[in-house]
Structure formats: C-alpha cells, structure tokens
C-alpha cells in the first residue's frame, strides 16, 4: 500500500463527508478545516501510540559557556530521553569510551553535590537563573573527571555532576550519545506524508473521519469509530517492525544507581 499524502487524507475525508472534490489542502475553507483536523489527529496518534519509529539516537546541546561547563540542554525536537551516554576518552587516547550516565532526582543530586567542598581545587560552582522569579541557584561540580550522574530541574536543562578540565573546557555535544523520542513535525503541504507505518494510515484516516464528522457535521461516524478502535488494538500488538524482544515496560528509563 502506497503511503498516504496529506491531500490523499483530505480527499478521503471530504468524500466521506460528501463534500466537493478538492485538489489542494487550501482549496476551500472546509478543505483547510479538514487539513487541520488531520494535523490534530496526527499529533494525538503520535502522543498516544509511542511509536518505535519516532525514537532515535541524538546528541545533547552543549552550553558552550565555560562558566557553566556541566550544563547541557535537551534539543527542542526531542520530547523524551530514555538514556544518555558520554564518551569518557582521556587526553591522548583515540578509542571512544562511551559509558552510561545515571539519572538522579534533583533532591538526591543536590544532596550528593553539596557534600563536595567548594574550597577544594577539584571542585567549582556556578549560578543558574531559574523560573520567572529569576531565582539564582548554585550548582556544585567536580572538574577532574568525566560525568557519572545528571539531573534536571525543568525537564529541559540537564546538570551533570562533573567534567574533566584536563580534556575539555565544557562537556561536549559530540561526546554525548542519547536515545529518545523525537517530535515529528506536521507540514501543511499537499505532498506531505505523515511519518507513520503504512498500517497506521487507516488508523489516522478513520480517527480523522470521526473528528471531522463530529466538528463539521455535529454527528457521529460509527463505522469509522469502530475501525479506528480496531486499528488501535492492532497497533498495540504489532507496532514494531523489528522484533526487539523487549517488554514495553523495559522502555522506561532506569533511574536507579548502578
């Protein structure tokens, strides 16, 4: 089955509504309404389905600030991080040494770092402005070893426990290797193909029909609703194209210490 484009979806929904034929998403007010309905449903399917094809490897964004060497951020296109690794290669070595960086809740992380002595030569600190009230919070870190732990205070900014000043001036983007879910943007274009497995195209179409009938005609579409429910059931059983031999609970990040 060929992948559906946005125009294919619009024409199918419009036909089900017994509307005029359209040749572009912006041919009419109604066709544009249908396009926005498809976008809404697509975003909902993404959020609910947790599709494996939306997970990928990526790098973190470095602070680039020598005064905040252990601060990094989650890329704006990444909506969830499952795990983080860092290349702990030492100066003079050439073979990469990627190791897992363990997550700690913010309270445990701060308590651990507060045990460090800022007066020590291998310890430093920086001030981070947080929140709309512009609160200034101090974070303490070691500067003589690669990171072992990280935390976050806002689900976007990541603070690591250490970095090695003998190797780099800050933690480096190119030394991170992460895995998580990336947001799949929706483009208002006739030829745009939603990033879904082909089997999920009918699920998106039927959910779009249900919403279109509800919003544009104020009636239900029982058949499309039933087919959409079947689609959700099938998707949960067979959404992986590659058998990874993993329970879905295994996808949850391991926040425990190693």
- Report pLDDT digits (tens) over 125-158: 999 999 877 889 999 999 999 999 999 999 999 9
The answer to whether residues 79 and 142 belong to one domain is: yes
Q: Are residues 45 and 63 in the same domain?
A: no
Higher pLDDT among residues 218 and 224, named by residue = 218
| Together in a domain, 174 and 58 | yes
Asked whether residue 150 is assigned to any structural domain, the reply reads yes
Domain-located, residue 256: no
Note whether 91 and 37 are same-domain residues: no
Check whether residue 65 and residue 124 sit in a common domain.
yes
Residues of the domain holding 224: 6-51+196-241
Q: What is the pLDDT of residue 242?
A: 42
Instruction: Give me 61's structure tokens.
Output: 């964004």
Q: What is the DSSP letter of 230?
A: H
For residues 173 and 87, state if they share a domain.
yes
User: What is d(CA 160, CA 130) in angstroms, rounded to the nearest whole number?
Assistant: 16
What pLDDT shows up at residue 241?
46
**Residue 253 pLDDT > 70, yes or no?**
no
10 Å CB burial of residue 210 (0-12, 13-18, 19+) is: buried
Residue partners of 49: CB distance under 8 A and separation at least 6: 200, 235, 239
How confident is the prediction for the chain on average, in pLDDT?
86
Average pLDDT over residues 226-253: 52
Does 162 share its domain with 64?
yes
The model's pTM: 0.73
pLDDT band at residue 202 under the 50/70/90 scheme: confident
Q: Does any domain span residue 147? A: yes
Give the C-alpha separation, 244 to 256, whole Å.
23
Cα separation, 141 vs 127, whole angstroms:
12
Count how many domains the chain has. 2
Same domain as 169, residue 87: yes
């Amino acid at each position: 089955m060929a992948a559906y484009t946005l125009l294919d979806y619009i024409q199918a929904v419009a036909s089900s509504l017994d509307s005029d034929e359209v040749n572009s998403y912006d041919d009419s007010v109604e066709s544009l309404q249908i396009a926005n309905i498809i976008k809404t449903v697509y975003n909902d399917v993404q959020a609910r389905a947790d599709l494996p094809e939306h997970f990928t490897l990526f790098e973190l964004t470095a602070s680039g600030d020598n005064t905040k060497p252990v601060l990094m951020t989650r890329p704006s296109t990444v909506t969830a991080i499952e795990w983080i690794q860092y290349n702990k290669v030492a100066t003079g070595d050439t073979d990469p040494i990627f190791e897992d960086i363990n997550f700690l809740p913010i309270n445990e992380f701060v308590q651990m770092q507060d045990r460090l002595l800022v007066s020590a030569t291998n310890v430093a600190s920086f001030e981070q402005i947080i929140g709309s009230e512009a609160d200034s919070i101090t974070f303490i870190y070691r500067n003589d070893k690669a990171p072992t732990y990280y935390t976050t205070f806002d689900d976007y900014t990541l603070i690591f426990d250490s970095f090695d000043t003998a190797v780099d001036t800050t933690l480096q983007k190119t030394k991170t290797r992460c895995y998580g879910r990336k947001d799949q943007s929706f483009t208002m274009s006739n030829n745009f193909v939603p990033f879904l497995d082909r089997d999920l195209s009918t699920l998106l179409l039927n959910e779009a029909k249900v919403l279109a009938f509800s919003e544009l005609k104020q009636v239900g579409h029982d058949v499309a609703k039933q087919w959409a429910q079947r689609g959700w059931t099938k998707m949960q059983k067979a959404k992986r194209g590659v058998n990874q031999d993993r329970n879905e609970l295994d996808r949850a990040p391991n926040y425990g210490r190693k």
